[in-house]
A and B are shown apart, each in its own frame.
Chain A
Amino acid sequence: MDIMLERDSNTVVFGEDVGYFGGVFRCTAGLQKKYGTHRVFDSPIAEGGILATAVGMGVYGLRPVVEIQFADYIYPAFDQLVSEAARLRYRSGGEFWAPITVRSPCGGGIFGGQTHSQSPEAIFTHVCGLKTVIPSNPYDAKGLLIAAIEDDDPVVFFEPKRIYNGPFEGYHDRPLVPWSKHDLGEVPEGYYRIDLGKANIVRAGSEVTVLAYGTMVHVALAGVAEAGVDAEVIDLRSLAPLDIDCIVASVKKTGRCVIVHEATRTGGFGAELSAQVQENCFMHLEAQIVRVAGWDTPYPHAFEWEYFPGPERVKRAIMTVMENWGDRGLDGTRQRARPTAHSRQPGLQLKGSNNGTLRIQAAGRGRRHRRERDRRMAGQGRRCGQGRPAAGRHAHRQGLGGDFLAGVRQDHRAVRQCRRHGRRRRTAGDPRSRGRRYAGGR
């Protein structure tokens, strides 16, 4: 903010307690003193008013950087953000726009109770016209914030408050390493920007892709260390725009994907990620995509650490996708016994084992089922792509889902195995031959 106030006289910073005091998290400390009360000022306690006046200022030509004291208090500003800031450019045919940056501390882990702990990012990624950014370290925070302020569209910039002082790996009983003692805490002086929509591979790996952002990047890394697998951890940094290419390249490489966020699970951003990974990497997936997220409850004050999705849960999710083909529920109960060793082998080589035979049959049933369905749909003139999820759900309801999907994956594994061995033979399950079959659909 300092740099942008310096560089661009149109930048103004305001919000509750951000002026003289420098914000309840001290993010704007010293700025009013340096730039005066006309560039950095306190506002009435009216989040809707803050956003509304920011829109007006943006329309005039200023670049407002406003703070909503806690993400939990952004809702009174919702209408101005969603109906106004986000749509202004569109509805005015490009005549008006509001280059607003909305900074707001999010996330829990500070015993803030349910009104100082929320992670509402998915609500904003759902709004077309808004960009949503969440940094995980000081270096990124600076570069991303500068890019956000310079952006001509409204950006919601969530700052995970748990990591204001140092990276938090999710071990609440261990001492915090301050950023000053951490590599990523080193922030260069002066101007630099990190373009919105560029993810960051914070740990390269080959066995599983772990998608995370904000505090959860650190938790994910800790979970990966606990799991002892060669995981690729991607810090999304910006949820909208999303660096889908980076994600897809990684998942295609690893064949597995775990998504970690602190926000509640249902309808969280993990759902969108899961959908996009599935859409783009279906033929490359070797296991179900697993989400690690906050429970679907408000953040309970006393049970913060039971609520917070820590490294242990990340580890469990990783183990689930590493070991299983989707037959183990997240609660750890096996829905159907099957030796892990066998499931690790390519399906076509499983003939010798009883379980394997069952598996192949199941896969065969899956394939037949699919082919029949495709034929049926073709007959009805429907596109496969549209019909598929519904059929999948249907199969799942009947308890066929696991077999059905496993079958697809086994075909696919076989193909990959063949490829690896240099035999470029196409099987029925080869995504390329299937692709041709589906050509009319996609």
Chain B
Amino acid sequence: MSSKQPLRLHVPEPKARPGESPDFSDIVIPPVGSLRRPPSDEPDHSMREHAFGMIRVLDENGVAVGEWDPKLPPETLIKGLRAMLLTRIYDERMMRVQRQGKTSFYMKCTGEEAVAVAQALALDDGDMLFPSYRQQGLLIARDWSLVDMMCQVYNNTKDRLKGRQLPIMYSVKEAGFFSISGNLGTQFPQAVGWAMASALKGDTRIAASWVGDGTTAEADFHYALTFATVYQAPVILNVVNNQWAISSFQGFAGGEQTTFAARAVGYGLPGLRVDGNDFLAVYAATQWAAERARSNNGPTLIEFYTYRAAPHSTSDDPSAYRPEEESARWPLGDPINRLKQHLIAIGIWDEEKHTALAAELDEFVRAAQKEAESYGTLGVKPASAASMFEDVFKEVPQHLIRQRQELGV
């Protein structure tokens, strides 16, 4: 008689679906300050707890706690708040212009602003960024022109990408911001390659790259970790775990059985799991990984634990697959509110200042929008379609010249 039992396939299920009440009961949130801050040359095997715990600095009262507090000067804190707020207002406005038909598509990063903004501020200006489509905060924190970003969104005459790219697929070489690809994850190993080149040349600049939780399933993610660890490349590899990949919760990327930071363990590099809605924790973890890379101690994988409060994109309706109230009930709160609370707690901020800042930024975005729209919006395109035959190759080849003539432009 066989004692073998029939096999069963496990298909992950999120805790709650539409109509059910949000359930975050399986999320363990360690107390702030519970993890030590090791020296940046600590061997990865002696800091395993960082891949499974969570680096958190800001407590529920807005007080910075523990070894990971980066102890930032007020200017940096206010700069961070400002950039996060600006990112949110910019997103709102661009979402609205999409609804008005002035462009075809948009993606917000609402709820995840701390990740890109704090990281941009923790890195040096010369460091090279290989983002996904949800790190617009990097450009904003690097003070890149909002008008320029909008012109890309509008595909207008001042769009430096010549109307070729989907809105938000920015490319800003001048700001060290690599051209965004629509194909998920491709930038991750490319960042490693850039970092390898920097090391080969004895440069001092490091690279950083971002993917979402869902994207960690792509082979490119694993290429990146392999190459990064083999060559000890000076790179920071970030996973923005916002719980969702369109309609698929992070369990479909393997998040049910372990953490994304723990992916690092198997590859032999340090993995940090960080409260992604905690500006100070994001800053501190990035600073640590940057120090490590700069001092030739190799790459770091960081998982930022956060929540995609917005729909995936303007083409998405999350109420079809997750409870509507889920984002409001997210246990790690809102990154802007949390930093604001901290600034108030340390006595450099108040509600009045905050309201004034929001109004100022709103005006700033409106003015930028006005200027950008003066150069056209999608479909209202005084630019010549002839440019679409350029840049396929460095020189426009004969057959494309002929095709351009055939089009009559």
On A, residues with C-beta under 8 Å from B are 16-17, 19-21, 24, 37-38, 41-49, 72-73, 75-76, 111-116, 265-266, 295-298, 300-303, 306-307, 329-332
For B104, the closest partner residue in chain A by CB is A111
CB < 8 Å neighbour of B399 from A41, A111, A266:
A266
Complex contacts, B12 vs chain A, CB 8 Å: 42
Give the distance to chain A from B185, nearest Cβ to Cβ, in Å.
8
Q: Is the CB of A300 within 8 A of B164?
A: yes
Q: Is the CB of B248 within 8 A of A42?
A: yes
User: Is residue B126 within 8 Å, beta carbon to beta carbon, of the partner chain?
Assistant: no
Q: Is the CB of B17 within 8 A of A20?
A: yes
Max chain B C-beta neighbours (<10 A), residue from A20, A24, A112, A307: A20
Q: Is the CB of B402 within 8 A of A45?
A: no
Main secondary structure, interface of A, reads loop
Q: Is the CB of A21 within 8 A of B406?
A: no
CB < 8 Å neighbour of A43 from B165, B169, B252:
B252
> Can you give 6 A-B contacts (C-beta < 8 A)?
A45-B248, A113-B105, A114-B182, A295-B389, A302-B155, A330-B402
CB < 8 Å neighbour of A45 from B104, B214, B383:
B214
Max chain A C-beta neighbours (<10 A), residue from B12, B182, B219, B407: B182
CB < 8 Å neighbour of B163 from A38, A115, A301:
A301
Complex contacts, A301 vs chain B, CB 8 Å: 104, 155, 163-167
**Known interface pairs A44-B253, A295-B407; A302-B163 also in contact (CB < 8 Å):** yes
Max chain B C-beta neighbours (<10 A), residue from A45, A295, A297: A45
Q: How far is the CA of A320 from the CA of B381 in the complex (A)?
A: 31
Q: How far is the CA of A42 from the CA of B254 in the complex (A)?
A: 12
Residue-wise, chain B 385-409 has the 8 Å CB interface mask toward A (1 for contact) of 1001100100000011011011111
Q: Is the CB of B105 within 8 A of A38?
A: no
Q: Is the CB of B9 within 8 A of A38?
A: yes
CB < 8 Å neighbour of A296 from B13, B165, B403:
B403
Complex contacts, A330 vs chain B, CB 8 Å: 402, 406
Q: How far is the CA of A76 from the CA of B184 in the complex (A)?
A: 10
For B381, the closest partner residue in chain A by CB is A302
Complex contacts, B254 vs chain A, CB 8 Å: 44
For B163, the closest partner residue in chain A by CB is A302
User: Is residue B257 within 8 Å, beta carbon to beta carbon, of the partner chain?
Assistant: no
Which residues of B1-43 are within 8 A (CB) of A?
Answer: 9, 11-13, 17
Q: Is the CB of B217 within 8 A of A46?
A: yes
User: Is residue B320 within 8 Å, beta carbon to beta carbon, of the partner chain?
Assistant: yes
CB < 8 Å neighbour of A306 from B378, B392, B399, B407:
B407
For A111, the closest partner residue in chain B by CB is B104
Q: How far is the CA of A302 from the CA of B159 in the complex (A)?
A: 10
User: Is residue B297 within 8 Å, beta carbon to beta carbon, of the partner chain?
Assistant: no
Complex contacts, B11 vs chain A, CB 8 Å: 19, 37-38, 41-42
Q: Is the CB of B248 within 8 A of A116?
A: no
Complex contacts, B241 vs chain A, CB 8 Å: none
User: Is residue B215 within 8 Å, beta carbon to beta carbon, of the partner chain?
Assistant: yes
Q: How far is the CA of A72 from the CA of B385 in the complex (A)?
A: 23
Complex contacts, B392 vs chain A, CB 8 Å: 296-298
For B105, the closest partner residue in chain A by CB is A111
Complex contacts, A19 vs chain B, CB 8 Å: 11
Q: Is the CB of A21 within 8 A of B320?
A: yes
Q: Is the CB of B219 within 8 A of A48?
A: yes
User: Is residue B369 within 8 Å, beta carbon to beta carbon, of the partner chain?
Assistant: no
**Known interface pairs A295-B389, A303-B163; A20-B183 also in contact (CB < 8 Å):** no
Q: How far is the CA of A94 from the CA of B74 in the complex (A)?
A: 71
Which residues of B197-224 are within 8 A (CB) of A?
Answer: 214-215, 217-220
Q: Is the CB of A17 within 8 A of B248?
A: yes
Q: How far is the CA of A17 from the CA of B248 in the complex (A)?
A: 6
**Known interface pairs A112-B166, A114-B165, A115-B182; A76-B219 also in contact (CB < 8 Å):** yes
Give the distance to chain A from B165, nearest Cβ to Cβ, in Å.
6
Give the distance to chain B from A1, nearest Cβ to Cβ, in Å.
18
Residue-wise, chain B 100-112 has the 8 Å CB interface mask toward A (1 for contact) of 0000110000000
Max chain B C-beta neighbours (<10 A), residue from A43, A72, A300: A300
Complex contacts, A331 vs chain B, CB 8 Å: 402, 405-406, 408
Q: Is the CB of A72 within 8 A of B184?
A: no
User: Is residue B61 within 8 Å, beta carbon to beta carbon, of the partner chain?
Assistant: no
CB < 8 Å neighbour of A44 from B155, B252, B320:
B252
For A330, the closest partner residue in chain B by CB is B406
Give the distance to chain A from B253, nearest Cβ to Cβ, in Å.
6
Q: Is the CB of A17 within 8 A of B246?
A: yes
Q: Is the CB of A45 within 8 A of B247?
A: no
User: Is residue B145 within 8 Å, beta carbon to beta carbon, of the partner chain?
Assistant: no
Residue-wise, chain B 162-175 has the 8 Å CB interface mask toward A (1 for contact) of 11111101000000
Give the distance to chain B from A300, nearest Cβ to Cβ, in Å.
4
Q: Is the CB of A45 within 8 A of B388?
A: no
Complex contacts, B388 vs chain A, CB 8 Å: 295, 297, 300, 303, 306-307
Max chain B C-beta neighbours (<10 A), residue from A19, A21, A116, A302: A302
